[in-house]
Structure 1
């Protein structure tokens, strides 16, 4: 009887654990950097929390309705690309030549298929273009004018370059160029539109990115990342965001990761793939893997930034070595969590 009783208890515990695993989960970041309580006004803080809440709830609705992780990511990042609070799409930083050159990538953990674009200038939603590269071309990465041509040919929404203009990013460029004794270019033609984020947007530093990782009800994970790059970038510089394995990676065998930070370091460490490798090959928990890469390896190399991650079993994690990171997570049966500062869970 004791054996039977023990078996029933174990079975009950196992059933409870199975029930505790969420059917779906999503984690969002809006960039890491110099983000401290003393730097944000109450109005700014409220604006960022509201934006992160709106974005993650939109992605969560896709997953709750049975949509794929890829669909949730495209939906959520598309909203971030439209929000001038963030360094992606409208609100992206400028190059030294006064252009907005946008990068994005997306990866499907079920198939290991991936798509990425770099230096695009006319596609409203670079994340949608990255997905089109993955699904409608034989390639993984397209760049520059060719990527914009492919975007037009596949029917994605096109905009004039001035669509991405925001006054605060232009002023950041002017300041950067002045400090570095570089010439200030003419403002982009048609850039007279008012800045929708004026007074609310916060400059997170030279770097900024947005990203989403998701687990869908079919048990598949995916990751997406989008950015405008770095203020004053020159010579066609490309960071980690469109580099599969560095700023983005997803595999159902381990996890999905999206990164944000100083891209050159993330490329050298293949940060996103390294987190997944620690989960897959060393059996680390998702949080332990993220912390080892960010708090130890990235920090030791002198890099700064962070990651968000989700695993097929519903684990969610984030880790960053900066003063703050705009972040949110949501899962089936679990409450919404939104954070900005280091002292928040």
Structure 2
């Protein structure tokens, strides 16, 4: 029997190999992915909606300094944190997205608030920040998002490019502490995302990111773009992406996968593999996707050496993966 509910989560794809991760790092990432999946599963077990499950699971990842989303996000070339997120309801096709947030603790909640508190789909910059405040969403000092490892990565990137290194952010801690010291520099892609199917047969998808290290000029990737980094439809599936955003935008990866399920009759795994392994690779992009369908199919696919990921469904055990050869 197909599961009544299911959830898949990712914590980013990139250069992730057994040689690069210490045992402590691997354990930390596996535990973090399990915690996020279980947070979403708790909502679904209780009969909650796919949208609620996606938001709850992404909250866990946005608060975890291991990931490039929320706390632990990558810095811009100017030494700022600029956060992007999107969420979509497969039942209604309602979608919300935000870009360039700097003080909102949970960007995924701001994206959902765009659906519920406005007539728009996507808000950016100072307007998105003002909207998030108007909706009563928790605000934090920008220093709350700071992690030492991400700052060091910025310094190295700017030095390689011959660009000036900005002053250390005001209020930033002097030393790395706790989990932040375990951050693995997986490359550019630490985006997080969750897709879910609830007991009502509805699917939803959400994605949250800090963008690329040392990004400039207000760069926005695929994560807040509906159809590129996030898409959900009860007629097909729900998809969340992570990777080289410019390529995902050009291919419209999330929507393309849904279209192949809905109109091409492909299985979910065949659709994600076809788009990621064949077309994304041929275009020169790398990264990965997760997906879930209304009939309970779950899938993931990535063309990098690893992707932090987890899946769980009614009647099925939690599965957590990091490397290419994990289950």
TM-score (normalised: structure 1): 0.94
How far residue 206 of structure 1 moved from its aligned partner, in angstroms, is 2.0
How far apart in 2 are the matches of 1:138 and 1:285?
Answer: 34
Equivalent residues in 2 for 1:31-46, closer than 5 Å: 31-46=12-27
> Is residue 320 from structure 1 mapped to residue 302 from structure 2 by the alignment?
yes
CA contact (8 A) 1:100 1:164 kept: yes
Q: Which runs of 4+ in 1 moved over 3 A?
A: 193-196
> Is residue 273 from structure 1 mapped to residue 273 from structure 2 by the alignment?
no
CA contact (8 A) 2:188 2:243 kept: no
Corresponding residue to 2:53 among 68, 72, 77:
72
**Correspondence for 1:284:** 266
How far apart in 1 are the matches of 2:38 and 2:274?
Answer: 29
**Correspondence for 2:182:** 200
Corresponding residue to 1:47 among 28, 32, 41:
28
Structure 1: runs of 5 or more not aligned:
1-19
**Correspondence for 1:304:** 286
CA contact (8 A) 1:225 1:241 kept: yes
How far apart in 1 are the matches of 2:179 and 2:72?
Answer: 9
Corresponding residue to 1:149 among 130, 152, 157:
130
SS at match of 1:231: coil
**Correspondence for 2:197:** 215
What is the aligned-residue RMSD (CA, Å)? 0.7
How far residue 162 of structure 1 moved from its aligned partner, in angstroms, is 0.9
Alpha-carbon spacing, 1:199–1:158, altered in 2? closer, same or farther (3 Å): closer
How far residue 135 of structure 1 moved from its aligned partner, in angstroms, is 1.1
How far residue 321 of structure 1 moved from its aligned partner, in angstroms, is 0.1
More deviation in 192-201 or 220-229? 192-201
SS at match of 1:39: coil
Equivalent residues in 2 for 1:9-20, closer than 5 Å: 20=1
CA contact (8 A) 1:40 1:202 kept: yes
TM-score (normalised: structure 2): 0.99
CA contact (8 A) 1:84 1:196 kept: no
**Correspondence for 1:337:** 319
> Is residue 161 from structure 1 mapped to residue 142 from structure 2 by the alignment?
yes
CA contact (8 A) 2:239 2:289 kept: yes
